[in-house]
Structure formats: structure tokens, C-alpha cells
Structure 1
Amino acid sequence: MSSKVVIINAFEPENFFIAQLSKAYDDALHERGITAELLFVNNMNFSFSPFPDTFTFDELEPDLQKSVELIQAADTVAFFTSASRDHIVPVFTEFVSRLFHLKDGGINTGIWGDVDAYRKVLRIITVLDDPETWKKFRNNRKASLVPVPRINFDLFGFGQIYSRTFGFLKDDMVLNEYALKCIKTMVSMAEKD
């Protein structure tokens, strides 16, 4: 059983459904006696400029330094984000590209130091907000329909990587039967972490 979980919320503030999924996961962890560290990417302050691979931990903005420290100490990291047909939440893309970039084909050890190989679990939870894309994804499960940045996360110590994609919530702010089923899935995930 993992004892350290970091939840990284990277969705638009008005996205009710992905917020409910994140809350269900966090609540289920709490019921098991696990307190997750919550990070809200939209509240962070960091530059969107291209990230030089020469940067070290000390050159990161304080919000990114805290993120690195929490991720390094975690057993499980769970990203919660939303996407439409054309893009994923821009601040999530920037967050991921600034922290998980490669230097000379490997991780930037100036930021991450030595990484314990394959020790961590990564969960990427995405809600597809676009009905047409969700329909296509549901029919053939093509990963290319989910525009999550392509990162070789195993280089950063993630030995188990799980991606789960949910559809949009048709009834706006009403937790319908579909939403309740998705929430049950999140509770089940938390029981494994």
C-alpha cells in the first residue's frame, strides 16, 4: 500500500466533472487514512517561456521546486486534467514540459537528482470535454485522441503508468448515472494506491 500520494489538479476551474473525479479520489484516499498533497497548477506561478535544459533545481520558480520535492517523495502521483478536441489545458502542458523535459536523452539531473528507478505509480486522469472526440475515443480507444504531452515518464521513476479517459458530463452540474459510475472507478483506483 502506498503511503504518499500527490494529486496534481490541472483543469480549468469551471470544469465541474473533473473536479468531482479528483475529489472522489482524494476522499477515498482520506477514508483509508492517506492524506494526499494537493497541487493546483492554475494557482502556480511559473514562466511559460521555453525551458532551457541547463536549469537546475535552484533556478526553478518556488511553485515548481515544491512540485519536484513532493513528486520525489511520492509513491503515487495522479494528474487530473481535461481536454477538448484541439488541446489540453495550456497550463498543464507548460507544467509538464518544464518539469519533465529531457537533457541529452535523459532526465535533467540538475532538477531531479538521482531517480529511484520504477518505484512510483503515475495515474493520468483525463476528461474529454468535446462530445465528438469522446464518441470517437469510446469507439476505438485511440490514444492519439487524448492530447496529453508525450513524456517518457519511466525515466522519472514511474514503473507503473496508468491512463484513464472519461467523457464529458452531459448534464452540466448534475451527477448523472454515468458520472456516478466514473466516481466509483476513482474510488476503486484510490483503494489500490
Structure 2
Amino acid sequence: GVAYTAVDRPYPAGGSMGELELYLSVARCDGLAAGVYHYDAAGHRLRLLDTADADRRALLAGAVAATGGAVEPQVLVTITARFARMAWKYSGIAYATTLKQVGALYQTMYLVATAMGLAPCGLGSGDTALAARAFGTEWTAESSVGEFLLGSRPAGVAAGPHAFADVVRSSRVPARC
């Protein structure tokens, strides 16, 4: 009974609109070739994008810079928002609502990654133009609104709520996240 296709996702979505999209820039991941992927939420699968390797490397380099050079990213998850899906209903609070939903998604990703024994880290920067080019989107319609690193914990670093901080402390370069 709504004027749009409602979605069911494991994180909050205002009105079940599902304006958030996930793109993975993969450097190293067992069972997954290096490349840029789009997460197809309806099919619960990754779709390899035809992206220039230079763009993938630039996205990952931006993540390195965001951590102060402390980590070599294995997987960078870029979150984009399809703004029109929110704006027609939420008008002046659409962007603020989107950012709150990104925060809720970060929390979900932190919880799941930590439970899986991975090293997660939400980033506070990104290159909107580069992301749009790499993902084949028009930045005015779908733009990056968040970035999140996922990686393996180094041997000897215990899993727990501070997994990424432990990874950074075990590295040679001091950083904060």
C-alpha cells in the first residue's frame, strides 16, 4: 500500500524505502577476487562491477589515508544513498534521516563484524566524485554517505569490542579510529 517498492533489510530504513546501497572495494578477501562489487540486497549477492582498477586502488588509498596510514585495507564498504527515495517523503529532514540510518548501519556492521572476529572500522571521509565514477552512479542521484573497513585481525589480537583499536596498537604506525 505504498507508492514505492518497500524493502526488508537488517537495519533501519525510514518507511522501508531502502535508500542505502552498499559497494565493496576488495583488495584481499578469501574466496572473492579483487574488484569492486555492488551488494544486491534483494538477491543477497555481490555483483562485480566493470570498474577501472585505478579507481578501486584510489578508493582503497583514500581509506589508508583516513586511518593515518595505520592499516592496509582488505575490504572497503562504501555506503551510498539514493536521495530521491527519501526526499519525496521526508523533505527537509531527508539528509539528516539518511545520516542517522548510516549510523545505525555502522552499528549493525560493528556488531556483526566483531561477533565474526573481524576488525571493523567506520571511516569519516571519502571521495564522492571518485565513488560515483567507480560505481557508475550519478552523484546528484546516488552519492556516498559513509565508508567502513572490514579486515582480518592479525594473529595474537583478541576479538572483542575494541578489535580495531587492538589492530592499530599492534601495527607499527600509530593511528586513531
Task: Give yes or no for TM over 0.5.
Answer: no
The structure richer in helix per residue is 1
Structure 1-normalised TM-score?
Answer: 0.26
